[in-house]
Structure 1
């Protein structure tokens, strides 16, 4: 394992404000904030192979959440409660995004927009540890299959595979009730699947 952080921008004090846990962090006292920073520094050292320029956004959320659970456990909170506390903070943070996503998805071009922009976006943000493909599909469909996921890899390493499912649920929250697009899948890695076989399909408007 590499012991040196590959990209120098991986600084916990800068990563937390980029994460879905920045509001929660503001509520913590100075002692707990310091513990969180210490935990994240250790996690960055232990997972330095992931710290390339592309994985930064994912690791801001992933390592912050993992460090939160570890801090809460160190203070005596049972792991299940610590994980739920962390999940609740993340779901609360993304609530405003639900309305924005529905507004965007109310356009007939939404699925074609995903088809055009998502592969480009992920080419720039999927670093070490990921294996994602974008199969060819119909004009009004967009398909994305994740074969290897760093959330699964890292959470499993620390004996918390259930945390991957907590992050998978974010996709369900944001995409499951879109006005003009169906969000479909048969399995998710976080819920025991061998892949996340996501597909967005434009809804046919009833006459």
Structure 2
């Protein structure tokens, strides 16, 4: 990358982590992120760049610092899971408010179809399986997060990003059933995603 270009920062991750770790460790994490960003071969796709800046590289920086400070893999992942849950609490609550609408399933179905544009084919191999009044179902045969973190020797960190989905969608609404059963990061060959219409599912 051009060293004269300013390094972009996640406006969600870094402000959220200061109260948790304090100024000194925050600066170490920020410096590590700068190192990771500066040395990473950025993809041409701006959407993939967004994922790197907003999630993957900041999360990796925090994880590396935790491990270097003597935390075990389990302890480090637990801290990151707790942090992710905290910074995504506001978004999860917004989704829960949406989930109280009586017609939330068709809204969610339209939203997911649009949102998947943020997971382009050069980062994820996705296969649509169902998109109707009963369920939104698709699988991903590859994952940009898992592949990137594996290249850094930290594939286990991907599970913390998977957990964000579980936290947000697992308790979103009694009208929508979140039915993901497996992910690549958790040892499966592919990730399966399903948002089932609870009204249809109980028939």
Using the TM superposition, give the Cα deviation of residue 182 of structure 1 relative to its aligned residue in structure 2, in angstroms.
0.8
Using the TM superposition, give the Cα deviation of residue 203 of structure 1 relative to its aligned residue in structure 2, in angstroms.
1.2
Residue 33 to residue 136, structure 1, CA distance change in 2 (3 Å) = same
Q: TM-score normalized by structure 1?
A: 0.79
Residue 201 to residue 157, structure 1, CA distance change in 2 (3 Å) = same
Residue 141 to residue 27, structure 1, CA distance change in 2 (3 Å) = closer
Contact 2:7 2:34 in 1 (8 A): no
Contact 1:165 1:191 in 2 (8 A): yes
Q: Within 5 Å, which residues of 2 pair with 1:137-176?
A: 137-176=131-170
Identify the residue that residue 25 of structure 1 maps to in structure 2: 18
Task: Give CA deviations for 1:79-134 in whole Å, capped at 9, x if unaligned.
Answer: 43222212211112223333322221223432222322223232245374222233
Residue 104 to residue 143, structure 1, CA distance change in 2 (3 Å) = same
Task: Give CA deviations for 1:129-167 in whole Å, capped at 9, x if unaligned.
Answer: 222233343323212322211111122222322211122
Residue 28 to residue 77, structure 1, CA distance change in 2 (3 Å) = same
Unaligned runs of 5+ in 1: none
Task: Give CA deviations for 1:22-49 in whole Å, capped at 9, x if unaligned.
Answer: 3213454444333223321332244324
Contact 2:170 2:177 in 1 (8 A): yes
Q: For 2:113, which of 100, 115, 119 is the aligned residue?
A: 119
> Equivalents in 2 of 1:175, 1:91: separation in Å?
12
1:203 matched to 2:198? The reply is yes
> Equivalents in 2 of 1:146, 1:156: separation in Å?
17
1:41 matched to 2:37? The reply is no
Unaligned runs of 5+ in 2: none
More deviation in 31-40 or 182-191? 31-40
Using the TM superposition, give the Cα deviation of residue 54 of structure 1 relative to its aligned residue in structure 2, in angstroms.
0.7
1:55 matched to 2:48? The reply is yes
CA RMSD of aligned residues (A): 2.8
> Equivalents in 1 of 2:113, 2:198: separation in Å?
22
Q: TM-score normalized by structure 2?
A: 0.81
Identify the residue that residue 184 of structure 2 maps to in structure 1: 189
